[in-house]
Structure 1
Amino acid sequence: MIELRHYIFRRLSFNFFLLMVCSMPFHLHAQDDTDSILLNSDSAVVASDDDNYDQNKSTRLPEEASFRRVPDTTVGRMKKEKDFAYANDPGYWIKQEKKYSKGFWDYVFGFFESTAVRVIFYILLGGLIIFVLYRVIVLNDLFIFYASKKQKKNFEETPTQELEPGMIDARIKESIDQKQFSLAVRYLYLKTLYALNDKNWIQFHVEATNKEYLNQLSSYKQIKEFRFLTQVYEYVWYGKFDISEQQFLLVYQDFKNFQTAI
């Protein structure tokens, strides 16, 4: 490589020198033609010598590159050095996976994915559905079939003559005297149905249900008061709710006020 550089340098030096020599006769021609001829002759001689030298140099080829072998002792010594200890560690060349750090939502989702939490959740959900259905049924009087059966049974147990309007007041007084306030409420409600039937607001029938009476009375402004009395009657009679004498007097007054208003 060094000889090649010397060769290039010498070649460039020779070309530069040759360029200088070629430019000199034009300046010397105005002074003396003889000198110019001699100078040209010398230049030719000089050029011939350098050219022969360069041709001899160009015939020399650069030496071929050879690979040097590092001795095993050197390799063993380098392996024992602390600076190259990492190269002998297989774990160093294994790419470390980036560890994922769990966040708040990861723990939240993990909590709800557990089997125990799922079972508890389904139990609570089932209880909520049952509670909602129960409230809908109770508030909307959807236990119509249950009420209808009990109502039919009670009317069937009572003789027909006892259902006549003229007998109602006597039955009410008798029930109050015997402290049977639940039975008294039943007769008060029955008397109210008779009064509504007389005004043609409803069509009384032994097998009709309270829900049907509410639907028939829905277009009248007294529907709110009648709905309240119906609920009281169902809670006390069908629900077997025992009321005290003081509570009965309040209910009794509500029935009397409604019967007077219609």
Structure 2
Amino acid sequence: MRRLLYSFLATFIMGTAYAQQDSIAVAYDKTPLNLRHISDDDLQKYRNDPDFNYEIVNSDPSWWDDLKTWAGNVLLRLFEAIFGVERATGLLATFLKIVPYLLLVLLVYLLIKFFLKVNASNHRQARKSGNSVLLSEEEHIIRNEDIQKLIQEAVNDKNFRLAVRYYYLHILKLLSEKELIAWELQKTNSDYLKEIKGIDLRRQFSEITHLYDYIWYGDFPIDENRYHKAENAFLNLQKSVKANA
């Protein structure tokens, strides 16, 4: 009986071991291989495609590359002199890399600012040259010139902006002669407006002042029709000034 039990156990153990060996056996794929052939034309397409070109081409550095290298070297030498180390790391290294771009932005900003300033200065100078009447001449015109004659000459020359300028000086002269304002070269048009007592007269003077500022200082283009409309406003104020005298 004991022999029979030993024989059974031996048979069971050997069968289990064989089953384990069989379960880890490698399975080979016996499916036939289907080989695909690539033609020379297909290969040439990939050769001509720059996305598949992995060759490193060494090109001459541009001026921008030279500028970045120069700026980086200057900052690196400065960094070495201050901190006594040969190489920047971390955030400082990142900062040193973007410094050339910051310098370029600053340079462009300064150039734009410079040219805008020069252009504005030239524009103001051109306006002074073209207007024919400088602020320093205002007192001379009011005190000594025949303004009505100047108005007529400007109209004959089709220089209607200048005619409006003379008309406004004529009104200031008339208000001063009638002692409705105290004309002084350093005073502003707002000062004269405060000096005028009559409500209707003050309203008319305010209207022609806005009209004058718009046409003369605003470089507003004015043709003959618009000039005559402005002239009517000046003539109406002139009548009101004489009536209030």
TM-score (norm 1): 0.39
Higher Rg of the two aligned structures:
1
